[in-house]
Amino acid sequence: MNEMPSRSGPKPEDVIKLHQEVNQIMQERLAVTTSAVLAFAAIISWSLTRLPANGARPDTGFFYSIGIGLNFVLGALLFLNLSLKRYARVLTTYLRVTKASVWEEHWAAFHGAKASYMSYTFPQVCVFLFLVLISTSVPCLIALSHNHSFDPTWPFVLDLGTGGVVLWYIVWVLRDGEEKYESNLLVKWRGVLNQKTGA
């Protein structure tokens, strides 16, 4: 049997715990983005050492596999980054609904006013955008520069396809694809806490 939630709001120690967890999530998101940059730099640097020194035709299939693999890794890390953001929103929306954090109420009003600002998410997503563009284009550039009779093959299509999917996800995020999620959180928390939707 599910227990009914308390309507008295969080205790001071609960508020402290939630704020600490939100701060930890923000640090974890930065760590995920940093890991993406380091993994990208290490893999690209290693793969470029496989270019033949005598000007011979390189193994383009190898570079396509690197590009495809990197796109999967970068896409997974981006998804993890944004999943952490969504979890943080669960916590901050609770603080806002229970009026346990004046900052969250003020931030919601500021955000709702469509004020011009740069959020924590935008620069990190731009980093992923830059990395995916490079990881997708490098194999194609290597193939084209070493093979003038280059014909698109399935690795080429797969490389562009995986990069395109990640880029589409990034564009969706940058176009406020999370706003509906945050609105749903408000409705759910108010329902759980038996508050009116318009409160």
- From first to last of its 199 residues, what are the pLDDT tens digits of the chain? 444 455 567 888 999 999 999 999 999 999 999 999 999 999 988 888 877 777 667 777 788 888 899 999 999 999 999 999 999 999 999 999 998 888 888 887 887 776 667 778 889 999 999 999 999 988 877 777 766 445 557 788 888 899 999 999 888 877 766 677 888 888 899 888 875 544 4
The pLDDT value recorded for residue 199 is 45
- State the Cα–Cα distance between residues 189 and 94, nearest whole angstrom: 6
pTM of the model: 0.83
- State the Cα–Cα distance between residues 25 and 28, nearest whole angstrom: 5
- By CB neighbour count within 10 A (0-12 exposed, 13-18 middle, 19+ buried), where does 33 fall? buried
